């Protein structure tokens, strides 16, 4: 049996793992690389295998860094089935076409820029063939890929191949996220591999805690926050109250929240409603300016059975609307643009969560230079992203062709992370009744992944390593 780490090896994005054994080849996740200019080339050359040779895909959850290359895999010849939870299927119906739309627009912009710089004209004059930038995949290809999804239920065993059995367990990361237990082979040759996917932080709003796993021959575990602890939820709420009241009531500015459309937007709506219910903040005028976030919120309410008891109590049938002064879900582009004329009193939640694309760029352009306003960073910011530059303290940034001074206050609410922190990861690993034969630490920046692997060796006595990009490991 061989396991190859195609992505998320000593980095956080591009999750994808190839398993080959006993006449079967399958992928666990097929994610897009994100952050920085070099990722485009990485995404175009992501497959060092023939997609037609893959029997099936197991998908842990809908985030684009885990699912975003599925349409490309299919466009290049993959004919098999993608097995994932029912809620993930619903989310992919929104997220993959949206990702494709971004790919098309970025390719269009790149080609226009080549034309403006007269690069294409010079190349044509030299007799060179056209080199227009092509999108990774189109909206039509993304829509077509949805036909190959097969929804599965949590805790239900499936057999995607005669040599493979697997069960999806609740990972508590985002709606529909899963830990995947996989048994490969028969009889004495059978081995169990557990893929943690992205593990959620226990006792967070909305979702249930990650399911404990008791055993595995081999474990692939994420390490996004393997070197640090999150703020407590109490401290996070205190900081959120401070940011809201200082900005809205004292300075009279706006609160801009770059938020992942899936998960973080719904978390923020829950927290703002809960803090209003407690009387800690006034009723707010909140704009959710992301069509995908709106759709994801609707999908969340469709799958209320997957949410925890506290969420049922607070949000109820009406999504907590009674706890807001006004709650708008903005669809129209012109309405989105009009938000940038609001000088104060608004909370604007918009995608993308790392400030790399989408409507959030326009709201940042309108508010970063204003001392009255506040930017709330609510999730992980990958290296090379615009959000990471803000977190790292940039004084000036270039955004949408403009140089903008950073005068707005910046808050980072670490307690809202959808990823388990160091303590939560170790607690989850502590449920194993016996140590795995080998542990592969993935989905963490290089120093984090290698450091967490070293900790597992020294503290638990486990055989742990952080694989390098593209590395293949022969198991057994």
Rounded CA separation 409/122 (Å): 46
**Does residue 283 sit in the same domain as residue 169?**
no
Whether the per-residue pLDDT at 121 is higher than 80: the answer is: no
Q: Say how far residue 472 (Cα) sits from the centre of its chain.
A: 25
**Does residue 306 sit in the same domain as residue 219?**
no
Quick one: what percent of the chain has pLDDT higher than 90?
74
**pLDDT tens digits, residue range 304-363?**
889 888 887 787 655 577 889 999 999 899 999 999 999 999 999 998 888 888 899 999
For residues 121-142, give the mean pLDDT: 73
**Does residue 9 sit in the same domain as residue 107?**
yes
CB 197 within 8 A of CB 171: yes
Q: Supply 50's token pair.
A: 């023939």
Whether the per-residue pLDDT at 120 is higher than 60: the answer is: no
The pLDDT of residue 317? 54
**pLDDT tens digits, residue range 64-88?**
999 999 999 999 999 999 999 999 9
**Does residue 369 sit in the same domain as residue 446?**
no
Query: 3-class SS at 376?
Result: strand
For residues 237-253, give the mean pLDDT: 95
For residues 233-255, give the mean pLDDT: 94
Q: Say how far residue 368 (Cα) sits from the centre of its chain.
A: 24
For residues 198-224, give the mean pLDDT: 95
The pLDDT of residue 453? 98
374-377 and 396-399 beta bridge pairing: unpaired
Whether the per-residue pLDDT at 132 is higher than 80: the answer is: no
Whether the per-residue pLDDT at 41 is higher than 80: the answer is: yes
The pLDDT of residue 413? 86
Cβ-based neighbour number of residue 267 at 10 Å: 22
**Does residue 378 sit in the same domain as residue 465?**
no
Give CA separation, 450 vs 318, 399, 455, 468, in Å. 45, 34, 9, 10
Q: Which CATH number characterizes residue 219's domain? A: 3.60.15.10
**Does residue 47 sit in the same domain as residue 162?**
yes
The pLDDT of residue 281? 96
Whether the per-residue pLDDT at 109 is higher than 80: the answer is: no
Cβ-based neighbour number of residue 214 at 10 Å: 10
**Does residue 63 sit in the same domain as residue 199?**
yes
**Does residue 392 sit in the same domain as residue 427?**
no
**Does residue 447 sit in the same domain as residue 329?**
no
List CB contacts of 165: < 8 A, sequence separation 6 or more.
157, 158, 159, 182, 183
Rounded CA separation 336/292 (Å): 14
Give CA separation, 408 vs 83, 204, 254, 416, in Å. 44, 28, 10, 21
**Does residue 134 sit in the same domain as residue 209?**
yes
Mean pLDDT of the chain: 92
Q: What's the DSSP call for residue 459? A: I
The pLDDT of residue 235? 92
The pLDDT of residue 468? 98
Exposed/middle/buried for 208, CB within 10 Å: 0-12, 13-18, 19+?
A: middle
CB 379 within 8 A of CB 385: no
The pLDDT of residue 356? 84
Instruction: Give residue 255's domain range.
Output: 233-416
The pLDDT of residue 127? 62
The pLDDT of residue 234? 92
| pLDDT, greater one: 123 or 213 | 213
For residues 178-183, give the mean pLDDT: 98
409-412 and 374-377 beta bridge pairing: parallel
**pLDDT tens digits, residue range 387-443?**
999 999 999 999 988 999 999 999 998 788 889 999 999 999 999 999 999 999 999
Rounded CA separation 244/275 (Å): 11
Q: For residue 3, name the pLDDT band (cuts at 50, 70, 90).
A: very high
For 227-268, strand residue ranges (E) read 255-258
**Does residue 238 sit in the same domain as residue 156?**
no
Whether the per-residue pLDDT at 193 is higher than 90: the answer is: yes
Rounded CA separation 162/345 (Å): 59
Q: Which CATH number characterizes residue 294's domain? A: 3.40.50.10890
User: How many distinct structural domains can be found in the chain?
Assistant: 2
For residues 457-474, give the mean pLDDT: 97
The pLDDT of residue 384? 84
Q: For residue 126, name the pLDDT band (cuts at 50, 70, 90).
A: low
Q: For residue 122, name the pLDDT band (cuts at 50, 70, 90).
A: low
Rounded CA separation 30/410 (Å): 33
Q: Is the pTM of this model over 0.85?
A: yes
**Does residue 216 sit in the same domain as residue 92?**
yes
For residues 216-232, give the mean pLDDT: 95
């Amino acid at each position: 049996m061989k396991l190859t780490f195609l992505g998320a090896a000593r980095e956080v994005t591009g999750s994808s793992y190839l398993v080959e054994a006993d006449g079967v080849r399958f992928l666990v996740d097929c994610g897009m690389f994100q952050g920085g200019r070099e990722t485009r080339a990485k995404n175009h050359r992501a497959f060092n295998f023939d997609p037609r040779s893959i029997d099936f895909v197991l998908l842990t959850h809908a985030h684009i860094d885990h699912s975003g290359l599925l349409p490309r895999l299919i466009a290049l010849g993959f004919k098999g089935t993608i097995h994932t939870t029912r809620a993930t299927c619903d989310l992919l119906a929104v997220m993959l076409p949206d990702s494709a739309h971004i790919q098309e627009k970025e390719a269009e912009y790149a080609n226009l820029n080549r034309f403006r710089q007269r690069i294409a004209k010079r190349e044509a004059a030299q007799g060179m063939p056209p080199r227009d930038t092509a999108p990774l995949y189109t909206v039509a290809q993304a829509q077509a890929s949805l036909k190959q999804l097969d929804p599965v239920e949590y805790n239900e065993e499936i057999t995607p191949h005669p040599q493979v059995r697997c069960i999806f367990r609740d990972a508590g990361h985002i709606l529909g996220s899963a830990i995947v237990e996989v048994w490969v082979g028969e009889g004495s040759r059978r081995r169990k591999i557990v893929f943690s996917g992205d593990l959620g932080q226990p006792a967070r709003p909305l979702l249930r805690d990650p399911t404990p796993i008791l055993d595995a021959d081999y474990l692939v575990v994420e390490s996004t926050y393997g070197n640090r602890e999150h703020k407590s939820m109490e401290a996070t709420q205190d900081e959120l109250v401070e940011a809201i009241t200082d900005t809205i009531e004292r300075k009279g500015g706006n609160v801009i929240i770059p938020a992942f459309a899936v998960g973080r937007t719904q978390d923020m709506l829950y927290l703002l409603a809960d803090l209003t219910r407690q009387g800690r903040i006034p009723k707010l005028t909140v704009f959710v300016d992301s069509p995908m976030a709106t759709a994801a919120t609707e999908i969340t309410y469709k799958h209320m059975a997957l949410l925890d008891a506290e969420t049922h109590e607070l949000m109820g049938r009406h999504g907590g609307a009674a706890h807001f002064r006004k709650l708008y879900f903005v669809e129209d582009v012109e309405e989105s643009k009009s938000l940038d004329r609001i000088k104060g009193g608004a909370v604007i939640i918009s995608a993308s969560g790392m400030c790399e694309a989408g409507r959030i760029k326009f709201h940042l352009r309108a508010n970063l230079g204003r001392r009255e306003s506040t930017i709330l960073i609510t999730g992980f910011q990958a290296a090379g992203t615009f959000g990471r530059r803000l977190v790292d303290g940039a004084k000036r940034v270039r955004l949408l062709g403009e140089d903008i001074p950073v005068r707005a206050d910046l808050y980072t609410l670490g307690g809202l992370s959808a990823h388990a922190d160091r303590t939560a990861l170790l607690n989850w690993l502590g449920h194993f009744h016996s140590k795995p034969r080998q542990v592969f630490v993935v989905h963490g920046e290089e120093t984090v992944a290698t450091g967490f692997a070293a900790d597992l060796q020294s503290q638990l006595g486990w055989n742990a390593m952080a694989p390098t990009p593209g590395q293949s490991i022969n198991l057994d």
